[in-house]
Amino acid sequence: MTCPPTTERLDVVPADGDLDMISASDLAIDLGLALSARPRAVIADLTAVRFVSAAGLSVLERAHHHAETVGSRFVVVAAQRCVLLPLALTGLDAVLSVFPDVRAVVEGLMSGAS
């Protein structure tokens, strides 16, 4: 059972550089803290990320499931091939909501898009 979000807030959690085994744990902590507040949505802003490893992909998948559990939306923002390709190759692009920029997320949430 999921609970409704406690706020209408949209939390943006940025990441940059390489999203690898070392940095993925920091992102996991930041996303977990944001989701624990049960906002309307948590946005993982990966627009400054240059590389995504399996560890990074795992963090995104776990955040998606955590968001479902607390009744929040989890959205990934990325437009660069180095992020989109691993998402596509693993099928996560079919599981995660992926938008090209934060503005598109806000517009999508306001219009009720997923």
DSSP 56-71: HHHHHHHHHHHHHHHT
State pLDDT tens for residues 43-91. 999 999 999 999 999 999 999 999 999 999 999 999 999 999 999 999 9
Contact 9/40 with Cβ under 8 angstroms?
Answer: yes
pLDDT for 1: 47
Backbone angles phi and psi of 19, in degrees to 5: -100, 85
DSSP 8-state assignment for residue 96: S
Q: How far apart are CA 26 and CA 40, in angstroms?
A: 22
State pLDDT tens for residues 30-49. 999 999 999 999 999 999 99
Instruction: Say if residue 14 is exposed, middle or buried (CB neighbours under 10 Å; 0-12, 13-18, 19+).
Output: middle
Domains, the chain, ordered by start: 10-108 (3.30.750.24)
